[in-house]
Amino acid sequence: MMRAPDDFPRDAAPAALAGAQPKLAARMINGRFVVGLTEEERMERWQICEDLAQQLVVPARKGAAKYPQNSHDVVLQRIWEAIAGKDWCSVVEMNWIIARLRELLRW
């Protein structure tokens, strides 16, 4: 079975639980408590994020060509902001996508 890369986030949306006492957010799956994503869920999230990073290569190159005065960091920041406005993924996943995009573009 394929696995998501080690640098892909393990907990894409950490739970926020109210109260003063320490808490652990877990789900019951097949009689076991699971904290964070299962390997299958993580693999699915990675496939979605990898696909998005691949799709963003062309718009990033176009943005860099259209605005040559902007650094690569500015181009990637604008893409990050566009992704954030869509609610497609979590903040940690967006950060991974941008890092992956930088790698794909060799920036």
Q: Is residue 8 part of a domain?
A: no
Supply angle C-alpha 61, 64, 68, rounded to 5: 150
Backbone angles phi, psi at 26, to 5 degrees: -140, 160
In a domain, 7, yes or no: no
Residue 19 lies in a domain: no
Range of the domain at 60: 27-105
pLDDT above 80 (res 1): no
pLDDT tens digits, one per residue of 7-31 = 999 875 556 666 667 666 777 778 8
Asked whether residue 10 is assigned to any structural domain, the reply reads no
- Which pTM was predicted? 0.80
At 97, which helix (H) or strand (E)? helix 91-105
Number of domains observed in the structure of the chain: 1
- DSSP per-residue codes, 12-71: SS-----SSS-----EEETTEEE-S--HHHHHHHHHHHHHHHHHTHHHHHHHHHH-TTS-
